[in-house]
Amino acid sequence: MPQSALLLPPHYGRPSRPSSPDVLALVAYVAYLVWAFLPEEWLEAIGIEWYPARDWALLVPAWIVMLVVYIYTGYFALNLYSTPPLDSVELLDDPRAFVSPPPRPPPSTDGKPRPPTPLWAHALLLPDDAIPPLYDLPMDVVNRVLVAPSRSFETALVTVPLPPPILDQLRAVVPDIRYRPYQGPDGTAAASRPTSDDYAAADAVLAWEVPHDLRSVEQTPKLKLWQGYMTGYTNVTESAYFRSVRDENELVFANLSGVCATNIGEHILGSVLTLTHKIHTAIRVGATERRWVNYSEIGGFFMRELNEMTVGIMGYGHIGKPAPETGHMLANAGDPDGSIPSAWYSTADRTSTLEFLARCDVLVNVLPDSTATRGFIGREELKAMKGNAIYVNVGRGTTTDQEALIEALQMQKEEGEEDSAPGSLRIGAAALDVVTPEPLPSASPLWSLSNAIVTMHWSGATTQYYQRALDVLLKNIRAIDAGQPPVNVYRGKGIKP
């Protein structure tokens, strides 16, 4: 039998026949119709002199029908009220999937056949541990049909920590999951590590990075998809394993570009508001000095509103494009008429880049790490920015000359100098979710600068990251199954020219 075929058990029992009460009920119903709806002269001709009014004869059945409708409506409403939202396949449950046959009477001792077990006995004698699947499909069969398991992916190696519901969704598509979460996003090591057998069996891999003992593509003869668990790719492309893949090999390498668009957009907005409202100052002074901060210490009425600021986004891609749209939560912000961006600038043209930087009140860096972007924001770029500009980096720390940035943050405004004047290297503040190196050494001045916020590369680490990552993985598995190009490919079959 083919593996895709389903073997279903036969129905229990024999076709039912109408019982005596059923026949009597039908006869009584026909008699009622004759009694209620025949013309008066016909009834009197056969000796029936009393019969109901026509309205009464019609209303009673209608009332009965409406009573049944109300009962079922209440039942459905109660059922819907008590049913939790379908947030996970774990919630799929069918308590009637396994139904026991009616209990059989004991064998006859006098040779005569025993009468059938009455319905009330069936209800009372039904055992609690009844399990034979007789009247319904088992839920595991239903789930596999609905989720559509992969035709060519039998085994997936997962080396990142995933919640059980996410693993269950993946297991519904790829039956054999080798779960080896040896390293989490915080670098914490776990006891479980992938083995050579895991590498050899895997059709797909979901991983932060290439394990140190995986050095050649020959160790993964069945592999069709390497799905990175990050939005970047240099942690894979700089490995010996990646370099061992020959040009003719159609092995697909993909990342999670785009899954952090919403959460990083919120992080950008929160960082800018924290700096413009001096929330970080209040937290620091309150925690260390436990005192009230006077307006005079922070420049009086110092706050700038977002609707008077120009935001520049360097790297207008999956993350950069939705970033300004996050401002829809604020009045006078966002992109209500589709006017964002108001201007485009080419980073390939030096003059265009410097002109772009000079216009920004807030510069958001969403650039990935590559040979072309490393050190892209240096001394000359910082000098081109406004003296009170806010620099937000949620891309990669390697894209910024960090020493020049520290110097720019430490510089003070000269007497008589305009707050927003460019040309002096000075900038107003910085919010850095990415730095170099990571983790940032404790001796770095960035920790103590009053106009800098450092977060630990967690702008995308929201609870929805797991589900979005799984969605990309499953989309790519199904695309490869169907012979279609996968998404977020940076090497292999399906890459965009």
Q: Is the pLDDT confidence value at 376 over 80?
A: yes
Q: 485 and 368 share a domain? A: no
Q: 374 and 318 share a domain? A: yes
Contacts of 293 (CB under 8 A, 6+ apart): 281, 282, 285
Q: 410 and 310 share a domain? A: yes
Q: What b/e readout covers 295-304, taking b as 16+ CB neighbours within 10 angstroms?
A: eeeeeeeeeb
Range of the domain at 226: 148-259+465-491
pLDDT (mean) for 123-145: 47
Residue 335 lies in a domain: yes
Q: 174 and 245 share a domain? A: yes
What stretches of 375-464 show up as alpha helix (H) in DSSP?
379-384, 402-410
Structure tokens at 156: 């997936």
Q: 359 and 377 share a domain? A: yes
pLDDT digits (tens, 9 = 90+) for 447-487: 999 999 999 999 988 888 999 999 999 999 999 998 999 99
Q: 330 and 187 share a domain? A: no
Q: What is the pLDDT of residue 87?
A: 63
Q: What is the DSSP letter of 160?
A: S
Residue 201 lies in a domain: yes
Q: What is the pLDDT of residue 315?
A: 82
Q: Are 268 and 330 in contact (CB under 8 A)?
A: no
Q: Is the pLDDT confidence value at 63 over 50?
A: yes
Alpha carbon of residue 360 to chain centroid: 33
pLDDT (mean) for 384-404: 96
Q: What is the pLDDT of residue 115?
A: 53
Percent of the chain clearing pLDDT 90 (strictly above):
44
Q: Are 194 and 182 in contact (CB under 8 A)?
A: yes
Q: What is the pLDDT of residue 185?
A: 53
Lowest mean pLDDT segment, chosen from 17-31, 289-303, 311-325, 461-475: 311-325
Residue 22 lies in a domain: no
Contacts of 101 (CB under 8 A, 6+ apart): 12, 13, 132, 134
E runs forming strands in 96-224: 155-158, 176-179, 204-207
Q: 271 and 323 share a domain? A: yes
Q: What is the pLDDT of residue 438?
A: 93
Using 50, 70 and 90 to split pLDDT, how confident is the model at 10?
very low
Mean pLDDT in the chain?
79
pLDDT digits (tens, 9 = 90+) for 219-241: 999 999 999 998 888 889 999 99
Q: What b/e readout covers 138-159, taking b as 16+ CB neighbours within 10 angstroms?
A: eeeeeebeeeebbeebebbbbb
Using 50, 70 and 90 to split pLDDT, how confident is the model at 364?
very high
For the full predicted model, state whether its pTM sits above 0.75.
Answer: no
Q: 337 and 473 share a domain? A: no
Contacts of 375 (CB under 8 A, 6+ apart): 398, 399, 400, 401
Structure tokens at 342: 């108001």
Tally of structural domains, the chain: 3
Residue 41 lies in a domain: no
Q: What is the pLDDT of residue 349?
A: 80
Work out whether the CA dihedral 301, 325, 85, 160 comes out positive or negative. Answer: negative
pLDDT (mean) for 184-203: 80
Report in angstroms the alpha-carbon separations of 235 from 232, 255, 495: 8, 11, 19
Using 50, 70 and 90 to split pLDDT, how confident is the model at 8?
very low
Residue 171: which H helix or E strand, with range?
Answer: helix 164-173
Q: 96 and 222 share a domain? A: no
Residue 99 lies in a domain: yes
Residue 231 lies in a domain: yes
**Nearest CA among 357, 359, 361, 395 for reference residue 378:** 357
Report in angstroms the alpha-carbon separations of 304 from 307, 310, 388, 390: 9, 12, 11, 11
Q: Are 297 and 377 in contact (CB under 8 A)?
A: no
DSSP labels for 80-100? HHHSPP--SGGG---TTSS-P
pLDDT (mean) for 242-271: 92
Residue 248 lies in a domain: yes
Lowest mean pLDDT segment, chosen from 59-68, 114-123, 276-285, 422-431: 114-123
Q: Which CATH number is 208's domain given? A: 3.40.50.720
Q: Is the pLDDT confidence value at 15 over 60?
A: no
Residue 432: which H helix or E strand, with range?
Answer: strand 429-432
Work out whether the CA dihedral 348, 351, 357, 359 comes out positive or negative. Answer: negative
Q: What is the pLDDT of residue 343?
A: 66
Q: 152 and 222 share a domain? A: yes
Residue 318 lies in a domain: yes
Using 50, 70 and 90 to split pLDDT, how confident is the model at 27?
confident
Q: What is the pLDDT of residue 118?
A: 45
Q: Is the pLDDT confidence value at 104 over 50?
A: no
Structure tokens at 104: 């059989």
Q: 319 and 346 share a domain? A: yes
Q: 395 and 325 share a domain? A: yes
Using 50, 70 and 90 to split pLDDT, how confident is the model at 113?
low
Structure tokens at 13: 């029992």
